[in-house]
Amino acid sequence: MSGTPASGQEAVDQLLKVLDLERLGDGVYRGVSPLVGPQRVYGGQVAAQALVAAGREVDPSRHVHSLHGYFVRPGDPLEPIEYQVESIRDGRSFSVRRCVAVQHGRTIFFMSASFQRVERALDHQLPGPVDVPPPDELPTMVERLAEYPERLGFWSLLPRPIDVRYVGESGWVPPGDRPRAPQQNVWMRFDGRLPDDPLIHVCALAYASDLTLLDSVLSFHGESWGPGGVVGASLDHAMWFHRPFRADEWFLYACSSPSAHGARGLATGRFFTADGQHIGSAVQEGLLRRVGG
C-alpha cells in the first residue's frame, strides 16, 4: 500500500471509521481496513471490529467483561471482512455472543464475548508497577526509533491513532544496543478525542492490546523484531475488562512473559489508569520464529 500514515486526531477519526461497521443483516456486519497498513490485517483491528459487532447485538445496558479469540488465518487488508454474530445466551445478568470473522469464504478469526449488567459487590485490586516515570518524560515511538529507520517497519505502515511510550526498550531496537528488563511497561493513549460510548473505549483497548504484548517475550531473551531477530504472529488472545475507563487518557500496559517454548511465547498484561486503577487484563500466545529460521 502507498501513502503516509495519519497521526493524532486524524488517525483516531480514521480508526473510528474502521470500527463503524456496516450492518448487512441480522447479526451480520462488514468491516474494512485502513487505506494505509501492513500486508496483513493487524490482529488488534480484527479483535476490535469483532467486539463492535458482538456489542451491537447486546442490550447497551450490559457491558463486555471478557473476550476469548483465536487468530486462524492472516487477513487480507484489501478485502472487506464479514463478521457473523451468533447469540449464545441471554440470562438475567449475562449475555454471551460468538463472532466469526470471514474473508474469501474462510474464517480468519473467531471470538466469544460475555456481557454483564452493572452490579455492585466485592471490590479489590493488586497494586501496579511502582516508580514508573510519567509518559511526558518518555520519548514517543517515532523519537525512539529515529536512529533505527530500517526498523520502523510495522510502525511506519500502521496509522498511528495511539501515542505509545515505552518505559524501557521496545522490541524494535536492535538486540544488544541497550539492556532490556523482563517486565515491559508501556504508556499508551489514543491521540485524539473518542466518543463517550463505553463500548468504543473497550474496543479501542482491545485494538491497543495486541500492539506491544509479545514484546515482553522478546524482552525476556534480549531479542528484537525484524532483521537479525524474530518474526511473530498472534495465535490467540483473551481480555478481561475490570473497571470503567477512557482510552483517550493515559493508561499503563504492564506486560511480562511467564513462558516460551516450541516457537510459542506466552505474554500477560495488565492495564492501569494514570491514578493506578486496574482497568483490564490480557493474555496472549504468539508464534515466534527467528528471521530466516
Name the pTM for this structure. Answer: 0.91
Q: Domain 8-118+140-290 is classified in which CATH homologous superfamily?
A: Acyl-CoA thioesterase, double hotdog domain (2.40.160.210)
- Cell for 70? 483465536
Q: Is the dihedral of CA 290, 257, 280, 170 positive or negative?
A: negative
User: Are 78 and 117 a contacting pair, CB within 8 Å?
Assistant: no
User: Are 155 and 162 a contacting pair, CB within 8 Å?
Assistant: no
Instruction: Give the model's pLDDT for residue 1.
Output: 38
Q: Which of 163, 191, 210, 215 is catalytic?
A: 210
CA-based Rg of the chain, rounded to a whole angstrom? 18
7 is catalytic: no
Q: Which of 103, 114, 257, 284 is catalytic?
A: 284
% of the chain surpassing 90 pLDDT: 72
284 is catalytic: yes
- Cell for 290? 527467528
CA distances from 150 to 147, 173, 189, 199, 228 (A): 9, 10, 25, 37, 12
Q: What is the pLDDT of residues 147-159, one digit of tens each?
A: 777 666 556 665 5
210 is catalytic: yes
User: Are 50 and 56 a contacting pair, CB within 8 Å?
Assistant: no
Distance between CA atoms of 151 and 254, rounded to whole angstroms? Answer: 23
Q: What is the pLDDT of residues 19-33, one digit of tens each?
A: 999 999 999 999 999
Distance between CA atoms of 88 and 95, rounded to whole angstroms? Answer: 8
Q: Which of 49, 95, 234, 257 is catalytic?
A: 234
- pLDDT tier at 160 (50, 70, 90 boundaries)? confident
Q: Which residues contact 167 (CB under 8 A, 6 or more apart)?
A: 132, 133, 138, 185, 186, 187
Q: What is the pLDDT of residues 96-116, one digit of tens each?
A: 999 999 999 999 999 999 999
Distance between CA atoms of 95 and 85, rounded to whole angstroms? Answer: 13
Distance between CA atoms of 204 and 195, rounded to whole angstroms? Answer: 11
